[in-house]
């Protein structure tokens, strides 16, 4: 299945940049945990990267078209896992997100992104017209909504919304009419107060209202936002230096190795480091967009953009949040934040993207 | 090559849907690049433009400046013995900034410390206006058990907002020795904060020597800048400015003489006051007022119950009797009357009166304390025997204004100028005083009781000490004082003696006659025999003064719990020629001056024993007779003393 000549088309640049981001992540996890109770977290992250590399290779060697044939199987499997989370999952921080396994806790919602992207890509590829029909959009919405609701129920609204961006990205690329996009936006705006009233949990409402006025709750949700911005701002142009940022080192930022890893990075490495990191992320994103354009078929393009939508949304949201500019959400920074499932799923997703690029010339 | 360009070059047509796809990817790319540029700009804005502001906020987050309390200056006695020093105590404070739920903390802390929750709340309310990072002291001078209890909870991070600090605290002598002299310290109050330029939390002198010399004793607090983590735990010290101790100060007090006076009073269970000084300079050797309070209780933050009981106590332990008590001097006033009569040229020392035990003045019979009378007595004998009839006669001859003039010149009825706060003025009446105060004419009959130190005459013990010093040194009115030397950092520097309050202008012959009488009181057949010291020519005078007139006493008999027994005085100097020590012992309800004289004797004995290198004497109290009933009513229309 894996032809020798394919090897020459592997996108090594993307792999190198991904590796660089992973190393930066491990470094920052070490910085934020080395003197605390989680001081071995960076080792776990290295293991996760190792497993992630295996997942990457697995997603690379099998032709994505073959994988797409089985997309429904993966989809059903992941939905089953999500149901399992709600039934048997373990909780942390008020949410039930993990399935306990012998060596680690699996977070199925991370893998739901890949499965949804694969399924939607397959769905829209089969639609042969210039723009997706209402039926296609309806089916696509339904495919997205099932895991969306399951994940939102955990609750993990951030990851759930990430699924919507996948749908949006693929539908957009499949030629969804712009008018329809406008209608979706209007509906969203109208639905917001209703969602506020009925769908959001109290802690979510809290986060939103303290975002608008952090001083409402300077020790609670607003605290994180204020401290995040202080961390970033105090970094200055050149940063405080590795292990020298007071905000992260002295624990003024909660869970700095996770949601706020980029704030600590900005504190210790300064604007220079921020621009380097933004550049690296932008590089893999633009490179993937190129892959989408070069893709041999629409399936490949849709798949890449679907995966990229989720990745980009998380990167941009997390980095914006780490500067205190959007409400605090449990959205981690792919490749840098600590988290095994996220790392493995992200690398697997990039395996698929590189897969598409690698096979751009094959028939 | 990044970016999206047409792979097949211009001119090659693409399928319709393929071109649409490429267009949309280009749109996405532009949007994302714009997004990332916007993010970079946002970070530039925070990290470069507003960097200074956030750097400061980060610093405020993790740096704290903690005050380091300066130890107050140590007080030494005239021999260099330590009187008041400092010890380490533990203060348990609350930092509201680190508290997520102050209410919970208060409940938990009160339980852990075993203190009243309402009082803790009160304390926090009092400091509510201060910055929230400043520690609020909840418990001063915590016991080791309390400290251990808090530390145990803190380590469990149950009470991260509670800190335990070690601060220097005043240590006064354990038995409240010279309590009123030293005074006490406590945290600055709001009035002082507004008026005197202290800082919140300063510990300042509130009474006594501590108050008067507060500026010298206070020292300069230091500061320590530390790094704290998000729980408020200290991580490390950035810099430390050590506190500088207050000035070391030497007092004129002789702790052995002080101890002697204290022993005497305590052995006889008297309330009262004593002021003993060097009659030539005014240096105070011993100063006490009883009952006293324990200044240590204030140093570590007095609790409300103790404060309330001190205030409510009928014996008024907070009153410094030596400078704030006004008492009838009784017979100890007679030297002033004698001086007036001699100086005004009305009599000579040989002027003799025949005492029959009572005499009629202005139509009213005045009793002598000795029922049978003294027979013919001259001035010296009249002082020795404390003959009332003799002094009634002098009073009638010289008049109240001359008595006022000479008593004032000897230091009575005026402030002594002692370096202690809130001294009150005594009263020696005059015609002018009565007119101004009561709008009434002075009746000559009133002068008769004034002449034996009764009536409106009221003096403070400290002014009696000045009076005796003036009689001892030939008439100079010294300023009693407590500050002897200062350590300004380069060794001890003597403090100049404060200037005298003037000279009475009394002639040496007058002094000699009075000295003869005072010597006889102790060494002749007088009432002060119990103060006699072999070889030291003690001169002195007893006095007994009614707390209430006999008529008043009769009216109140059996209807009051007030102690109406007479007050006892003994005033003294020694030796008779070139006196080295002078003073006053005043015993409240001591009934007569004999017991006061015993205490004075012990004080002088101690003083001379030290000079001569003898072992210090031990006070042997006499076997006390059973206490008399509150008022012993014996005399008829008598006012005045009974010696």
Nearest CA among B530, B538, B533, B532 for reference residue B592: B530
Which residue does chain A place closest to B25, by CA atoms?
A289
> How far off is chain A from B81, nearest CA to CA, in Å?
49
Reply yes or no on whether the pLDDT at B13 is more than 60. no
- Residue B316: pLDDT band (50, 70, 90) is confident
Residues 6+ apart with CB under 8 A from A45: A25, A26, A29, A338, A340, A343
- Residue A335: its pLDDT value, please? 95
Q: What percent of chain A has pLDDT over 70?
A: 92
Average pLDDT over residues B412-437: 93
Is residue A175 within 8 angstroms of chain B, CB to CB? yes
What CA–CA distance (Å, rounded) separates A7 from A5?
A: 5
The answer to whether the Cβ–Cβ distance between A252 and B21 falls below 8 Å is no
The chain A residue lying nearest B62, using CA atoms, is A246
Strand segments (E) across B17-71: 63-68
Chain A residue with Cα closest to B52: A234
For the question of an ipTM over 0.95, the answer is no
Q: How confident is the model at residue A201 (pLDDT cuts 50, 70, 90)?
A: confident
- What's the DSSP call for residue B502? -
Predicted confidence (pLDDT) at residue B606 exceeds the cutoff of 60? yes
Lowest mean pLDDT among A8-22, B119-133, B348-362, B629-643: B629-643
Q: What percent of chain B has pLDDT over 70?
A: 91
Upper half-sphere CA count for residue B210 (Cβ side, 13 Å): 29
CA distance B531 to B110: 56
Task: Find which of B1, B20, B21, B99 to mutate to test the A interface (most A CBs within 10 Å of its CB).
Answer: B21
DSSP-assigned letter for residue B244: B
Closest-CA distance of chain A to residue B110, Å:
24
Match 């981001």 to its residue by tokens: A21
pLDDT at B195: 80
Q: Across the interface, do B229 and A282 touch by the CB < 8 Å criterion? A: no
- What is the layout of strands, in order, in the sheet containing A90-92? A90-92, A95-100, A105-106
CB-CB contact of B324 with B275 (8 Å): no
Mean pLDDT value of segment A25-45: 89
The C-alpha atoms of residue A188 and residue A180 are separated, in whole angstroms, by: 12
More confidently predicted of A254 and B79: B79
Question: CB–CB of A230/A214 below 8 Å?
Answer: no
Q: Name residue B503's beta-bridge partners.
A: B476
A287 in contact with B at a CB cutoff of 8 Å? yes
Across the A:B interface, residue pairs with CB atoms under 8 Å apart total 134
User: Which residues of chain B have a CB within 8 Å of the CB of A275?
Assistant: 40, 43
Lowest-pLDDT choice from B185-194, B295-304, B335-344, B456-465? B295-304
Check whether B632 has a pLDDT greater than 70: no
Residues 6+ apart with CB under 8 A from B64: B133, B225, B226, B228, B234
- Mutation for testing the B interface, residue in A233, A298, A325, A356 having most B CBs under 10 Å: A233
**Closest of A318, A350, A362, A363 to residue A113, by C-alpha:** A350
Contact (Cβ atoms closer than 8 angstroms) between residue B541 and residue B563: no
**Residue A133 — very low, low, confident or very high, per pLDDT cuts 50/70/90?**
confident
**Environment class of A142 (CB within 10 Å of its CB; exposed 0-12, middle 13-18, buried 19+):** exposed
Q: Residue B450 phi/psi, 5° resolution?
A: -60, -35
Q: Among the listed ranges A151-165, B10-24, B110-124, B567-581, which one has the minimum average pLDDT value?
A: B10-24
CB-based contact B615:B609 (threshold 8 Å): yes
pLDDT tens per residue, range A272-314: 999 999 999 999 999 999 999 999 999 999 999 999 999 999 9
Mean pLDDT check: name the lowest of A188-197, A209-218, A351-360, B524-533: A209-218
B-chain residues near A321 (CB < 8 A): none
A120: Cβ contacts below 8 Å, ≥ 6 apart:
A140, A143, A144, A166, A167, A170, A171, A302, A306
Please, which pLDDT band fits residue B306 given cuts at 50, 70 and 90?
confident
Q: What is the mean pLDDT of residues B321-341?
A: 94
**Best residue in B28, B41, B133, B227 for a mutation probing chain A (most A CBs within 10 Å):** B28
- Distance (Å) from the alpha carbon of B221 to chain A's nearest alpha carbon: 28
Question: Between the CA atoms of A333, A338, A344 and A348, what dihedral angle is there, to the nearest 10 degrees?
Answer: 20
- Cβ of B32 within 8 Å of Cβ of A325? The answer is no
A255 at B interface, C-beta within 8 A: no
Cα(A92)–Cα(A95) distance, integer angstroms: 6
- CB-based contact B641:B545 (threshold 8 Å): yes
- For residue B262 the two structure tokens come to 């204290």
Distance from C-alpha of B272 to C-alpha of B570, rounded to nearest angstrom? 12
Q: Is A286 on the interface with B (CB under 8 A)?
A: yes
Inter-chain contact B61–A247, Cβ cutoff 8 Å? Answer: yes
β-strands B248-251, B75-76 pairing: parallel
Q: Which residues contact B490 (CB under 8 A, 6 or more apart)?
A: none
Looking at the predicted structure, is the pLDDT value of residue B62 above 90? no
pLDDT at A356: 94
The count of other CB atoms within 10 Å of the CB of residue B238 is 13
What pLDDT score was predicted for residue B603?
96
pLDDT at A223 (0 to 100): 77
Contact A282 B17 (CB under 8 A): no
pLDDT of the residue at B639: 41
**Over 60: is that where the pLDDT of B633 sits?**
no
Q: Minimal Cα distance from A230: which residue of B?
A: B54
Nearest CA to B140 out of B217, B85, B87, B216 is that of: B87
B31 touches chain A (CB under 8 A): no
> What's the helix, strand, coil split of chain A in %, to 5?
70, 5, 25
Q: Is B25 on the interface with A (CB under 8 A)?
A: yes
User: What value does the mean pLDDT take over residues B337-354?
Assistant: 94
Which two tokens mark B373?
């009378």
Q: Token pair of B242, please?
A: 């050590």
Measured in degrees and rounded to the nearest 5, phi and psi for residue A3 equal -85, 150
How far lies B366's CA from each of B37, B443, B452, in Å?
Answer: 111, 15, 11
Q: Are A356 and A300 in contact (CB under 8 A)?
A: yes
What secondary structure does DSSP assign to B371-391, as a single string?
TT--EEE-HHHHHHHT-HHHH
Strand partners, B541: B571
Q: Collect all residues of chain A within an 8 Å Cβ-Cβ radius of residue B38.
A: none
- From the CA atom positions of chain B, what is the Rg in Å? 37
State the pLDDT at residue A320.
Answer: 94
Distance CA B123, CA B34 (A): 56
Residue B129 near residue B171, CB atoms below 8 Å? no
| Cβ contact, residue pair A233, B53, below 8 Å | yes
Structure tokens at B260: 């002697």
% chain A with pLDDT above 90 = 55
The HSE-up count of residue A243 (CA atoms within 13 Å, CB side) is 6
> Does pLDDT of B631 surpass 50?
no
CA distance B444 to B361: 9
In 3-state terms chain B splits into helix, strand, coil percentages (rounded to 5) of 40, 20, 40
| pLDDT tier at B162, thresholds 50, 70, 90 | confident
DSSP B332: G
Place of tokens 């030629």: A175
Cβ-nearest to B58 among A246, A271, A283 = A246
Q: Does B17 touch chain A (CB under 8 A)?
A: yes
Mean predicted confidence (pLDDT) in B420-431: 94
What is the average pLDDT value for chain B, to the nearest integer?
Answer: 86
Which residues of chain A neighbour B3 with C-beta distances below 8 Å?
A: 286, 290
The reported pLDDT for the residue numbered B641 is 43
Inter-chain CB proximity A172 and B28 less than 8 Å: yes
Residues A111-129 have pLDDT tens digits of 999 999 999 999 998 876 6
**B44 to A219: CB separation less than 8 angstroms, yes or no:** no
The Cα-based distances of B272 to A106, A275, B142, B327, B527 in angstroms read: 85, 83, 34, 11, 20
Q: Is the peptide bond before B291 cis (omega within 30 degrees of 0)?
A: yes
Name every chain B residue with its beta carbon within 8 A of the beta carbon of A255: none
The answer to whether the Cβ–Cβ distance between B25 and A289 falls below 8 Å is: yes
Radius of gyration of chain A measured on its C-alpha atoms: 20
A225-261 residue pLDDT tens: 888 889 999 999 998 888 888 888 877 787 788 889 9
Using omega within 30 degrees of 0 as the cis cutoff, is the peptide bond preceding B329 cis? Answer: no
B189-230: per-residue pLDDT in tens?
A: 888 888 877 887 788 999 999 999 999 999 888 888 888 777
Residue B2 reports pLDDT greater than 50: no
B30 and chain A in contact, CB less than 8 A: no
| Model pLDDT for residues B534-593, shown as the tens digit of each residue | 889 999 999 988 776 655 656 666 555 556 778 899 999 989 999 999 999 999 987 778
Which residues of chain A have a CB within 8 Å of the CB of B47? Answer: 232-233, 235-237, 266, 270-271, 274
Opening angle at CA B615, ends B612 and B621, nearest 5: 115
pLDDT at A206 over 50: yes
- Mean pLDDT, rounded, of chain A: 87
Which of A7-11, B281-285, B530-534, B630-634 reaches the highest mean pLDDT?
Answer: B281-285
Is B35 an 8 Å CB contact of chain A? yes
**Cβ separation B43–A294 shorter than 8 A:** no
């Amino acid at each position: 299945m894996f032809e020798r000549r394919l090897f020459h088309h592997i996108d090594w640049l993307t792999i190198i940049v991904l590796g660089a981001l992973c190393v930066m992540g491990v470094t920052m996890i070490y910085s934020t945990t080395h003197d605390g109770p989680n001081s071995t977290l960076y080792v776990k992250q290295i293991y996760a990267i190792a497993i992630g590399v295996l997942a990457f290779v697995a997603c690379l060697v099998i032709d994505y078209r073959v994988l797409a044939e089985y997309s429904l199987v993966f989809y059903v499997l992941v939905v089953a896992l999500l149901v399992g989370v709600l039934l048997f999952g373990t909780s942390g921080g008020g949410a039930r997100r993990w399935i306990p396994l012998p060596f680690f806790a699996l977070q199925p919602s991370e893998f739901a992104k890949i499965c949804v992207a694969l399924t939607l890509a397959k769905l829209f590829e089969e639609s042969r017209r210039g723009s997706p029909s209402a039926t296609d959009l309806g089916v696509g919405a339904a495919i997205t909504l099932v895991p969306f609701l399951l994940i939102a129920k955990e609750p993990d609204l951030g990851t759930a919304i990430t699924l919507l961006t996948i749908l949006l990205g693929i539908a957009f690329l499949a030629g969804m009419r712009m008018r329809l996009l406008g209608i979706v936006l209007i509906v969203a705006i109208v639905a917001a107060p209703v969602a506020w009233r009925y769908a959001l949990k109290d802690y979510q409402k809290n986060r939103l209202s303290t975002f608008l006025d952090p001083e409402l709750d300077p020790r609670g949700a607003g605290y994180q936002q204020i401290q995040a911005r202080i961390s970033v701002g105090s970094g200055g142009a050149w940063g405080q230096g590795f292990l020298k940022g007071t905000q992260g080192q002295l624990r003024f930022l909660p869970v700095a190795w996770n949601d706020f890893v980029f704030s600590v990075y900005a504190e210790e490495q300064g604007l220079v480091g921020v621009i380097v990191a933004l550049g690296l992320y932008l590089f893999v994103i633009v490179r993937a967009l190129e892959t989408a354009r070069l893709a041999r078929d629409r399936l490949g393009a849709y798949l890449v953009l679907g995966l990229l939508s989720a990745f980009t949304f998380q990167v941009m949201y997390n980095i914006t949040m780490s500067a205190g500019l959007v409400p605090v959400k449990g959205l981690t920074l792919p490749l840098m934040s600590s988290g095994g499932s996220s790392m493995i799923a992200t690398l697997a997703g990039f395996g698929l993207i590189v897969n598409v690029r690698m096979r751009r010339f094959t028939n | 090559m990044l970016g999206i360009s047409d792979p097949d070059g211009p001119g090659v047509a693409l399928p319709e849907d393929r071109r649409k796809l490429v267009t949309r990817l280009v749109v996405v790319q532009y949007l994302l690049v714009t997004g990332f540029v916007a993010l970079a700009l946002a970070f530039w804005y925070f990290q470069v433009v507003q960097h200074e502001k956030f750097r400061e906020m980060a610093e405020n987050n993790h740096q704290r400046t903690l005050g380091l309390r300066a130890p107050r200056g140590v007080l030494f006695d005239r021999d260099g013995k330590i009187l008041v020093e400092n010890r380490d105590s533990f203060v348990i404070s609350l930092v509201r900034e680190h508290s997520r739920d102050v209410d919970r903390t208060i409940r938990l802390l009160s339980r852990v410390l075993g203190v009243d929750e309402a009082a803790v709340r009160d304390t926090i309310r009092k400091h509510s206006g201060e910055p929230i990072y400043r520690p609020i002291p909840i418990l001063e001078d915590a016991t080791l058990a309390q400290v251990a209890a808090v530390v145990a909870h803190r380590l469990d991070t149950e009470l991260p907002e509670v800190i335990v600090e070690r601060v220097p605290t005043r240590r006064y002598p354990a038995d409240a020795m010279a309590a009123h002299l030293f005074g006490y310290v406590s945290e600055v109050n709001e009035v002082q904060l507004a008026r005197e330029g202290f800082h919140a939390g300063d510990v300042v002198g509130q009474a006594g020597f501590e108050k008067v010399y507060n500026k010298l004793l206070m020292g300069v607090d230091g500061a320590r800048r530390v790094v704290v983590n998000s729980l408020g735990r200290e991580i490390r010290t950035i810099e430390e400015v050590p506190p500088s101790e207050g000035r070391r100060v030497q007092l004129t007090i002789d702790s052995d003489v002080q101890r002697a006076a204290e022993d005497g009073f305590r052995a006889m269970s008297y309330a009262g006051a004593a002021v003993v000084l060097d009659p030539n300079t005014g240096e105070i050797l011993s100063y006490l007022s009883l009952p006293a309070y324990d200044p240590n209780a204030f140093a570590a933050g007095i609790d409300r119950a103790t404060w309330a009981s001190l205030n409510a106590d009928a014996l008024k332990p907070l009153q410094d009797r030596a400078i704030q008590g006004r008492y009838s001097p009784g017979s100890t006033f007679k030297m002033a009357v004698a001086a007036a009569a001699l100086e005004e040229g009305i009599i000579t020392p040989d002027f003799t009166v025949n005492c029959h035990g009572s005499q009629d003045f202005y139509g009213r019979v005045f009793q002598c304390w000795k029922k049978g009378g003294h027979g013919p007595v001259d001035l010296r004998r009249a002082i020795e025997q404390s003959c009332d009839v003799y002094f009634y006669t002098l009073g009638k001859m010289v008049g109240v204004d001359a008595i006022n003039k000479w008593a004032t010149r000897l230091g009575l009825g005026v402030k002594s100028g002692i370096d202690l706060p809130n001294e009150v003025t005594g009263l020696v009446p005059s015609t002018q005083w009565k007119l101004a105060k009561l709008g009434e004419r002075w009746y000559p009959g009133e002068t008769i009781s004034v002449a034996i130190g009764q009536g409106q005459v009221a003096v403070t013990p400290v002014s009696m000490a000045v009076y005796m010093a003036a009689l001892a040194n030939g008439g100079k009115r010294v300023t009693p004082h407590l500050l002897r030397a200062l350590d300004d950092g380069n060794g001890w520097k003597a403090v100049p003696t404060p200037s005298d309050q003037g000279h009475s202008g009394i002639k040496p012959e007058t002094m000699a006659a009075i000295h003869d009488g005072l010597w006889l009181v102790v060494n002749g057949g007088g009432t002060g025999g119990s103060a006699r010291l072999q070889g030291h020519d003690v001169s002195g005078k007893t006095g007994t003064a009614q707390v209430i007139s006999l008529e008043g006493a009769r009216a109140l008999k059996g209807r009051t719990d007030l102690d109406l027994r007479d007050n006892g005085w003994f005033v003294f100097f020694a030796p008779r020629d070139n006196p080295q020590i002078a003073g006053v012992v005043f015993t409240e309800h001591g009934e007569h001056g004999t017991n006061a004289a015993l205490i004075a004797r012990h004080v002088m004995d101690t003083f001379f024993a030290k000079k001569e290198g003898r072992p210090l004497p031990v006070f042997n109290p006499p076997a006390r007779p059973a206490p008399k009933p509150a008022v012993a009513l014996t005399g008829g229309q008598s006012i005045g003393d009974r010696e």
